[in-house]
A = this chain, B = another copy of it.
Amino acid sequence: RSYSIAVIPGDGIGKEVMPEGMRVLEKAASIFGFEIEQKWHDFACCDYYARHGKMMPDNWKEEIGRPDAIFFGAVGWPDTVPDHVSLWGSLLQFRREYDQYVNLRPVRLMPGVPCPLAGREPGDIDFWVVRENTEGEYSSVGGIMFPNTDREVVIQETVMTRIGVDRVLRYAFDLAQKRERKHLTSATKSNGIAITMPYWDQRVEAIGAEYPDVSHDKYHIDILTAQFVLNPDRFDVVVGSNLFGDILSDLGPACTGTIGVAPSGNINPEGIHPSLFEPVHGSAPDIAGQGIANPVGQIWSAAMMLEHLGEAEAAAAIMRAVEQVLATPSARTRDLKGAASTDACGKAIAEALG
């Protein structure tokens, strides 16, 4: 078995954690008997953009080719490139152009990661956030009327489609069906956002009817964020629109203390286009260049990528190695009250792998 991987480390700490992700990936390949063909790309603010004034060449799809997956670090360098330019020029473009309509993130209490919630232990919290990843509130449709006057009116359209909503709901219900509790929670705001959100609720009912063995409920997003803090053990699979999923998939890892180590998959479930795997954290300009970034998010993303590629055994082995290292104070990075450097932590995980 051989997998072609497009590697895009990006900016800031993306460049520091990516080598550790690759280290562990290659080690897993040698142990489990598959091959990784890698092609690196410098699509980042501080590389390609600095030279060409755009995030990627116009023929970026050709450059990337048809890899089995994309392994992504973090993009963004607000001092030189505004965030909406860098993100719409790379990450958000991949999500749309490769129709990665599912954004998938685990919310899991891990050993060795201090939990900001009182009285919670590893095992207590373990759910997935499924986020619609291509449409909804993240649209570029709209504009400004009477610009630069007191009458200025700014409009942005949220656009949901039957196709877009139904397919991500089916993915979420499928996932819930495979789990023990078989429960799905939908994020809504149909009491305030009076057109798209009642529609979302309707489609949840319609698709839910196809899954009689999966129970489901819904919460308005405001009280749902409160429930993440108050009763995080209540959730199994949580599904939300692009914006609501974005919020919940940062808040969830924050509630488990894992925001610095959480991974994510941007998935095209049909496999027509490559899926993209990236840590939840960003490029973190404030700590970039110091060799102190935590590589676990990148490495956990490698595990998600392998799972997606069908290498479930290797993925599980990486997760065991990650848990073992997180439970070892001396192998942890500074954010987890250890003193290990980025590469020392990465090496420890590669070693623990076997």
A153 touches B157 (CB 8 A): no
Dominant secondary structure at the A interface = mixed
At the interface with chain B, which of A25-33, A175-183, A250-258, A266-274?
A250-258
A88 to B192: give the CA distance in the assembly, Å: 8
Q: Are A225 and B251 in contact (CB under 8 A)?
A: yes
C-alpha gap A152/B150 in the complex (Å):
36
Query: In the complex, what residues of B have CB within 8 A of residue A223's CB?
Result: 250
Interface size on A, residues (CB 8 A): 63
Q: Are B226 and A225 in contact (CB under 8 A)?
A: no
Residues of chain B within 8 A (CB-CB) of A189 are 243, 246
A193 touches B117 (CB 8 A): no
Is A138 among interface residues, defined by CB-CB distance under 8 A?
Answer: yes
* A106 nearest CB across to chain B (Å): 15
For this chain, the copies found in one complex come to 2
Per-residue CB contact flags for chain A residues 149-187 toward chain B (1 = under 8 Å, else 0) read 111111111111111000000000000000000000000
A120 to B, closest residue via Cβ: B118
Q: How far is the CB of A245 from chain B (nearest CB, A)?
A: 10
Which residues does chain B contribute within 8 Å of A330, judged by CB atoms? none
Q: Does A116 contact B (CB under 8 A)?
A: yes
| Closest Cβ–Cβ distance, residue A190 to chain B (whole Å) | 6
CB distance from A11 to the nearest CB of B (A): 14
Residues of B within 8 A of A139 (CB): 194
Within 8 A of B (CB), among A35-66: none
A121-144: CB near B (< 8 Å → 1, else 0) gives: 000000000000000011110111
Report the bound CA distance from A135 to B158 in whole Å: 15
Closest Cβ neighbor of A146 among chain B residues: B162
Residues of B within 8 A of A242 (CB): 192
Complex Cα distance A198/B143, Å?
Answer: 12
Q: How far is the CB of A65 from chain B (nearest CB, A)?
A: 27
**Closest approach, in angstroms, between the C-beta of A279 and any C-beta of chain B?**
14
How far is it, in angstroms, between the C-alpha of A117 and the C-alpha of B139 when the chains are bound? Answer: 35
Note all chain B residues with C-beta closer than 8 A to A327.
none
18 interchain pairs, CB-CB under 8 A: A76-B191, A82-B198, A83-B190, A138-B194, A151-B162, A153-B162, A154-B159, A154-B195, A154-B199, A155-B157, A156-B193, A158-B158, A192-B243, A192-B246, A225-B250, A225-B254, A226-B250, A230-B259
Task: List residues of chain A with CB under 8 Å of any chain B CB.
Answer: 76, 82-84, 87-88, 92, 115-119, 137-140, 142-144, 149-163, 189-196, 198-199, 221-223, 225-227, 229-230, 242-243, 246-247, 249-251, 253-255, 259
